[in-house]
Structure 1
Amino acid sequence: MSVKLRERKLAKGAIRFYLDIIHNGERSYEFLDVRILSSDSKSVKAEKKNIANLMRSNKELELITARTDYLPQHLKNISFFDFAESFIADYGKKDIRMLEATLKKFKAFVDNPKLKILDIKPLLMNKYKDHLNDNAGLTGESPHNYFTRFKKILKDAEDKGLIRDNPTRNIKFQRKNDPDELRKQVLTTEELQLLVKTPCGNEELKRAFLFACFTGLGYAEIKKLKWKNIINNRLTTRREKVNRKIELKLKDSTILSLGERGDKEDFIFELVNKDGNVISDNGINKCLGNWVQRAEIEKHITFYCARHTFATQLLQYGANLKTVADALGHANTRNTIKYLNYIDNLKDDAVDSLPELNF
């Protein structure tokens, strides 16, 4: 095993350092973010070379101790929050907002800005898991989703050799047992009919929400939906979150609710404010809440509840789990099973409504 410091000549007399690594019989190269410029003074050049040599020594020590419990001192001192923020800054996937949110929750939970990566132990992660479930003000799938995103940060730290063992590896996240949780987020057929007959402060929102209740689309898809996505009474689009294709047949009444067809590049729903900007999620849900209240429906309904409503309506009227999973754009039926709890509750209610017999 060897780690040697090499120099690569760049344009205009500049030099960049890199490591020539031979480890386990394989050769690799690692470029360092250290460059000597022709304009650097003699002392600056010497200082940069010393830094490059220190990085070489640290890399060599990391490789030597890779399969031991020993962790070099320079890794022990890494700030967790500096690392996490750097990870998020380089993160390019669509769930970045949830990553930012879970990190914010964790900061408030530990209340220690000087927390080191090595301070994160399984005991702390179990406490954070319980905090998300019980005290973080989160509902539904959010506690689980927050914890899953947080694990991504620690997995990256493990991949980079900053921690030996991921402290979340053996932790299983179990949601609180709340059989009525989904029911509060679902509209029944009778309630949907009631909303149809109830005026809404934003009629465009009314059309969009009811359309979502019969297609399972979220607000992210609804606000981008164009007439070209509906051909011959069939909807074809993609789920924003997972980029999975969705193709559905639309009922005649659903098509009729959309009104006169526009050009193929026109948006179906003009969900914009007075400034011409797309209405935010909070703005949509506030208006939606007022509409639901006006209809005297005592449920906390957000736009995402349209997706829950669509799934439970399909199951209630005879669709199987695989069909519902495909309609929702789920990769498998694991995430679809939760809707069965609601259908089971409906069956219980039906049995309770049977007349009593005197034996």
Structure 2
Amino acid sequence: MAQKKKEIVYLRKRARSNGTFALYLDICRNGKRTNEYLKLYLIPEHTREDKLKNKETLKLAEAMRAKRVVEIQSKDFGLDVSTHEDALFLDVMRRLIDRKEGTTKTSWQNCLAHILKYEPNDRITFREITPQWVRGFRDYLDTKAMQWAIDNRKRDVEPKPISQGTKALMFQKLCTVFNIAMREGIIRINPTVGVERFREPESDREFLTIDEIRQLRKTPPPNEDLAQAFFFSCLTGLRWSDIVKLKWSEVQELNSGTRIVFTQKKTGGLEYLDLNTQAASILGKRGKREELVFPRLGPIQSARISIAAWVRSAGIDKHITFHCARHTFAVMMLDLGVDLYTVSKLLGHKSIETTQVYAKILDKNKKAAVERIPNILDDPE
């Protein structure tokens, strides 16, 4: 009986006239050889970035080679290797958006608007989206995407390019859709793998000092309930999304004090937080179990306007939003000497790396403080 010939899939490269190298699969099957070009290219390595880009390209090419091996072997054994790559990409993305709420949903809708600006075909399938398509979307974000593409209400505003942070956020959301498609078995190869991400800029996280909190406390607010919730966040670090849904059933009175046990809106994780006496006093008279602790907050959009006006009235020259109360809590805890790990747990962070951002803020403040010391060693002229 004749021995079956070995099937081998090699990843190879071929030089092109422009100095790049085209990657292709050299398939040896049943004694026959065929080439399948991957539409992936290696570039001359002049810089470290060039080397990193080639490394990611080779990583994607190797994944495509492995997929081809599985397809060939599965076909020989009569296995079903079909996927759902003909599913509509935007259908999956819209289902994901439907599960979001508030500002998170708005951000996802903005990403969808940018994708449609780049790719008007709303019937595009996963099969049609290649690494080249993904790179094209990245280039669109980097060079063409404008803020007016996502906010038709601001027609009188001069259109300007989106920020570096927005570029990183929009591209990450695209990657998230493909990660979900991988988990759901819609696709076998993620076309975003190997495409360079945007480097996120270090953002300044605005916060209030203790003196500024006291100054704000003395200033009459436009909305008393909102002010109480804001101070509660300054004292607990809770997000708006968790405060706005906080019910009395989640507030426990213990011998040692007051504790809230709640499920984080953002992460879905169950958290408990012991309140200090100041935070507990803000809660006021206990209501019924199913009632909200802060029932008259209104929408976040109104809260932004009210807080901005309140901060201006207090004479504080900072761009403060409700979320800045959480930043205030984090910086205040670190400034009071609480260790980074404990602050991370109080904030409900999954990774301590997220909390380290606040430590950097504190380092900047300390540096600025010591630089204010006048010249005390030299005699005045």
Normalised to the residue count of structure 1, the TM-score between the two structures is: 0.66
Superposition deviation, residue 221 in structure 1: 1.4
What SS does the corresponding residue of 1:342 show, helix, strand or coil? helix
On the 8 A contact 2:331/2:361 being kept in 1, the answer is yes
Q: Distance in 1 between matches of 2:193 and 2:92?
A: 19
Q: Distance in 1 between matches of 2:86 and 2:290?
A: 54
Deviations 1:228-255 (A, max 9, x none): 4142222322211112233223222222
Match of 1:341 in 2: 360
Structure 1's unaligned 5+ residue stretches are 1-62, 273-278
Q: Distance in 2 between matches of 1:197 and 1:131?
A: 48
Structure 1 position 242 matched with structure 2 position 242: no
Deviations 1:78-116 (A, max 9, x none): 65435544x537x75776665444222322344554655
Q: Distance in 2 between matches of 1:298 and 1:129?
A: 36
Structure 1 position 189 matched with structure 2 position 213: no
The one-letter amino acid of 1:358's match is D
Distance of aligned partners of 1:323 and 1:101 in 2 relative to their CA distance in 1, 3 Å threshold: same
On the 8 A contact 2:236/2:279 being kept in 1, the answer is no
- Greater shift after overlay, 319-328 or 239-248? 239-248
The one-letter amino acid of 2:217's match is V
Distance of aligned partners of 1:254 and 1:77 in 2 relative to their CA distance in 1, 3 Å threshold: closer
- Greater shift after overlay, 258-267 or 188-197? 258-267
Structure 2's unaligned 5+ residue stretches are 1-66, 73-80, 148-161
Structure 1 position 307 matched with structure 2 position 307: no
Superposition deviation, residue 202 in structure 1: 0.5
Match of 2:227 in 1: 206
On the 8 A contact 2:167/2:198 being kept in 1, the answer is no
The one-letter amino acid of 2:193's match is R
| Aligned match for 1:154, one of 168, 173, 178 | 178
The RMSD of aligned alpha carbons is 3.7
Structure 1 position 358 matched with structure 2 position 378: yes
| Aligned match for 1:125, one of 134, 157, 163 | 134
On the 8 A contact 1:133/1:176 being kept in 2, the answer is no
Match of 2:293 in 1: 268
Q: Distance in 1 between matches of 2:223 and 2:281?
A: 19
Match of 2:158 in 1: none
What SS does the corresponding residue of 1:165 show, helix, strand or coil? coil
Number of aligned pairs? 284
Equivalences for 1:251-262 in 2 at 5 Å? Answer: 251-262=276-287
The one-letter amino acid of 2:374's match is P
Superposition deviation, residue 147 in structure 1: 3.2
Deviations 1:188-222 (A, max 9, x none): 22221111111111001000111011111112211
Match of 2:117 in 1: 108
- Greater shift after overlay, 217-226 or 261-270? 261-270
Q: Distance in 2 between matches of 1:242 and 1:80?
A: 25
Match of 2:96 in 1: 88
| Aligned match for 1:220, one of 241, 260, 264 | 241
Normalised to the residue count of structure 2, the TM-score between the two structures is: 0.62
Match of 1:4 in 2: none
On the 8 A contact 1:182/1:339 being kept in 2, the answer is no
Superposition deviation, residue 227 in structure 1: 3.2
What SS does the corresponding residue of 1:248 show, helix, strand or coil? strand
On the 8 A contact 2:165/2:201 being kept in 1, the answer is no
Distance of aligned partners of 1:349 and 1:288 in 2 relative to their CA distance in 1, 3 Å threshold: same
Distance of aligned partners of 1:133 and 1:225 in 2 relative to their CA distance in 1, 3 Å threshold: farther
Deviations 1:114-137 (A, max 9, x none): 655455344553564576678565
The one-letter amino acid of 1:67's match is E
Q: Distance in 2 between matches of 1:239 and 1:142?
A: 25
Q: Distance in 2 between matches of 1:270 and 1:309?
A: 23
On the 8 A contact 2:164/2:201 being kept in 1, the answer is no
Percent pairwise identity = 29
Distance of aligned partners of 1:204 and 1:157 in 2 relative to their CA distance in 1, 3 Å threshold: closer
Distance of aligned partners of 1:205 and 1:174 in 2 relative to their CA distance in 1, 3 Å threshold: same
What SS does the corresponding residue of 2:71 show, helix, strand or coil? coil
Q: Distance in 2 between matches of 1:265 and 1:82?
A: 36
Superposition deviation, residue 153 in structure 1: 2.0
Deviations 1:307-344 (A, max 9, x none): 22211111111122211111111122122121122111
